[in-house]
Amino acid sequence: MAIVQEFVKNAEKDPFFRTLAAVLQRHQIQAFLIGGYVRDLFLGRPCKDIDITVIGDGTRAAQLVADELGVKGEVHIFKNFGTAMFKYQDLDIEFVGARKESYSNLSRKPAVSIGSLADDQNRRDFTINALAISLSKEDFGSLLDPFNGMADLHVGVIRTPLDPLITYSDDPLRMMRAIRFATQLNFNIEPASFQAIRTQKKRIEIISKERIADELNKIILSGQPSVGFKLLRECGLLPLIFPELSALEGVETRQGKSHKDNFFHTLEVLDNLSGLSPDLWLRWAALLHDIAKPSTKRFDPDQGWTFHGHEDKGARMVPGIFRNLKLPMNEKMKYVQKLVLLHLRPIVLAKSEVSDSAVRRLLFEAGDDIDDLMKLCQADVTTKNEYKQKKYRANFELVKQKLVEVEEKDKVRNWQPPVTGELIMQEFNLKPGREIGLIKNAIREAILDGIIPNEYEAAYAFMLERAREIGLTPVNKK
Ligand code: ATP
Ligand code: MG
C-alpha cells in the first residue's frame, strides 16, 4: 500500500491533516476520510474536496477543527443533516456524522438516523466511493474497504455495494453518476449494474433537472464525452432526459440515398472539439449544432437529403432546451445560440471562392467568438474520405489566413460603426426615426461590401450622399 504510506507521510507535514489528527485525538473523536477524496488519492487525481465521516456529531468536530486551524470564513452548518462545511486554503472540507439511510418511493431524500461507519459505507453509491481511511491516532491511514472497492479501482469497474436494483431505485441520480464516473474515469459499469439502470430508468423522473444537468455537464467536460452519451443512449435514459439529442439518431434511405446518423456524427464533433477546447459552452454548441436536423430533413429526388435552415431553426431551439434543462438563460445561452446559427458559415466560405466581403461579414457577425466558431467548424469535419479531409483542411487554413488579413485591414471584429446614430441626428437635426436606421444600415452595408473603407472620413462622405438622396440637408454649422 505504497499510496497509503505516502499519504500518511505527507499528512504528518500537511497543516490541514496534522491539525485534523491532533484535534480528533484531543477530543477523542473517531473519524474517517471517505468518498471521492480517497478514490482520487488512489487514482492519482488531484482532489480539493475532502469528505470526513465522524462517528457522532459532525458539526462539533468541524467547529473544533476550524477553530484550531484559525479559519477566517464561516463554518456552514446544515442542522438537519449533522453536516458542516468550511473552506481552508484551496480546500472544501465537509464533515458529516456517520448515518444510516432508509428510502421511500417518492423522493430521493431518505430518512436519516445516526449510524456506524459500516452503515455510512452501505449508503454510498459505488464500491470505489465507499473506501474509507481512518484518521484516529492508533490506526491513522488504515484502509476500510468492506466492498472490495480497491479491486474495482484496479480493474476499472463501477459497481454498487448493495443490490443495484435497490440502489438505483432508492436514488435514481446514481444512474447518472454511474455513467458520469464511467466517462470521467474511463471505467466500465458492471453488467448487472447497467442492466439495473435499464430496468430503473423511468425513476429518473423524480430527479431535478438541475442535478441531471450537473451530471451532463461533467460528462461534457470529460476527455471523451461520447462515452457518456453512448451509455445514456444504450440504457434508455437519453430520450427521457434529452429527447432532442436522442431524436438525432437514425439513418433513412430513399432511392438508394442515405444520410448520415446525426447522433453519432454529433458525438464525433463533440469529441473532436474536446481536443481543441476545454470550454463547457463551446462544447454545448458542438452538441447542439445539428439539433434541428430531424425537423428540417427533406428528401429531394435530385439533391437527395437536405436539412435546409437547420442552423437557423437550431439556434431558435437553443433557449427551449436550455430552459428545460435549467441551464443558465444568460449570455452563455446566447453564445451557444450564435455559434449554432453561424456554424455553417466558415464551411461555406471554405468551399467557395473566398471573397473579402464574405470574410468581413463573417467577422462582423461572429465578433470575438470567431476563433471559437472556427474551432467548432474544424471539429465538424468528420468525413472519412481522406481526399475531402485534406481539401477542407487546406480551405480552412485559407479562410483563417483571410480572416487575419481582413481583420488587420478593416478591423470589423468588434466593430463600432464610424458614424453613429447620434451623429446623424445631430448633423441633420433629426429626432430618432426611420431615416437614421436607413442611413446607418447603408453605411454598414457599404463597409461590409468593401464599397467604402471602414473609416470616419469615408463613412461621413457616404452619409452625406445617402442623406441627399432621401432629401435631407445638413444643418449649417457655423
Ligand atoms: P465528484 O466530487 O467528482 O463529483 P465525488 O465522488 O466526490 O465525485 P460527491 O458528490 O462530492 O462525489 O460526493 C462525495 C461522496 O458522497 C461520494 O464519493 C459518495 O461516497 C457519496 N455520494 C455522493 N452522492 C451520492 C449518492 N447520490 N448516493 C450515494 N452516495 C453518494
Ligand atoms: Mg466530491
Ligand nearest to the CA of 52: 1
Span 67-96, average pLDDT: 90
Give the pLDDT band (50/70/90) at residue 78.
confident
Closest CA to 10 of 123, 136, 140, 115: 140
Position 330 in a domain? no
Name the residues around ion ligand 2, CB cutoff 5 A. 36, 49
Cα 107 to ligand 2 centroid, rounded to whole Å: 22
Q: How many independent structural domains does the chain possess?
A: 3
Q: Are residues 25 and 73 in the same domain?
A: yes
Q: Are residues 139 and 198 in the same domain?
A: no
Position 314 in a domain? no
Q: Are residues 18 and 112 in the same domain?
A: yes
Q: Are residues 201 and 118 in the same domain?
A: no
Q: Are residues 19 and 82 in the same domain?
A: yes
Cα 126 to ligand 2 centroid, rounded to whole Å: 13
Does ligand 1 lie within 6 Å of residue 49's CB atom? yes
Our mutation pick for probing the ligand 1 site, out of 125, 153, 170, 214, counting the most ligand atoms within 8 A of Cβ, is: 125
Position 9 in a domain? yes
The CA-based angle 411-413-414, given to 5 degrees, is 100
Question: Nearest C-alpha to atom 5 of ligand 1 is from which residue?
Answer: 36
Among residues 108, 134, 154, the one where a domain terminates is 154
Average pLDDT, the chain: 92
For residue range 317-330, list pLDDT tens digits in order.
999 999 999 999 99
Q: Are residues 131 and 173 in the same domain?
A: no
Does ligand 1 lie within 6 Å of residue 164's CB atom? no
Does ligand 1 lie within 6 Å of residue 171's CB atom? yes
Ligand 1 closest atom vs CA 108? 27
Could you give phi then psi for residue 300, rounded to 5 degrees? Answer: -115, 125
Residue 150 has pLDDT above 80, yes or no: yes
Q: Are residues 7 and 22 in the same domain?
A: yes
Give the pLDDT band (50/70/90) at residue 283.
very high
Among residues 154, 186, 213, the one where a domain terminates is 154
**C-alpha cell of residue 152:** 474495482
Span 306-315, average pLDDT: 97
Distances (CA, A) of 85 to 31, 41, 319: 15, 21, 35
Position 309 in a domain? no
Does ligand 1 lie within 6 Å of residue 51's CB atom? yes
One-letter identity of residue 212: I
Span 33-42, average pLDDT: 96
Position 18 in a domain? yes
Position 222 in a domain? yes
Q: Are residues 31 and 149 in the same domain?
A: yes
Predicted model pTM = 0.90
Residue 164: what pLDDT? 97
Span 12-40, average pLDDT: 95
Does ligand 1 lie within 6 Å of residue 35's CB atom? yes
Cα 45 to ligand 1 centroid, rounded to whole Å: 15
- Weakest-pLDDT range from 222-226, 270-274, 411-415, 423-427: 411-415
Q: Are residues 109 and 235 in the same domain?
A: no
DSSP 173-187: HHHHHHHHHHHHHT-
Residue 415: what pLDDT? 73
Which domain, by its residues, includes 163? 156-241
Q: Are residues 6 and 150 in the same domain?
A: yes
Position 366 in a domain? no
Question: Nearest C-alpha to atom 11 of ligand 1 is from which residue?
Answer: 36
Cα 237 to ligand 2 centroid, rounded to whole Å: 24
Q: Are residues 193 and 102 in the same domain?
A: no
Residue 478: what pLDDT? 42
Cα 262 to ligand 2 centroid, rounded to whole Å: 34
Question: Nearest C-alpha to atom 28 of ligand 1 is from which residue?
Answer: 125
Give the pLDDT band (50/70/90) at residue 476.
low
Give the pLDDT band (50/70/90) at residue 145.
very high
Question: Nearest C-alpha to atom 18 of ligand 1 is from which residue?
Answer: 35
Span 370-385, average pLDDT: 92
Ligand nearest to the CA of 123: 1
Residue 1: what pLDDT? 72
Does ligand 1 lie within 6 Å of residue 161's CB atom? no
Q: What percent of the chain has pLDDT over 90?
A: 68
The enclosing domain of 87 has a CATH number of: 3.30.460.10
Does ligand 1 lie within 6 Å of residue 36's CB atom? yes
Span 162-184, average pLDDT: 97
Give the pLDDT band (50/70/90) at residue 477.
low
Cα 83 to ligand 2 centroid, rounded to whole Å: 15
The CA-based angle 249-253-254, given to 5 degrees, is 140
Q: Are residues 55 and 198 in the same domain?
A: no
Q: What percent of the chain has pLDDT over 70?
A: 99
Position 199 in a domain? yes
Among residues 241, 256, 290, the one where a domain terminates is 241
The enclosing domain of 190 has a CATH number of: 1.10.110.30
Query: What CA–CA distance (Å, rounded) separates 22 from 137?
Result: 8
Q: Which helix (H) or strand (E) holds 169?
A: helix 164-170
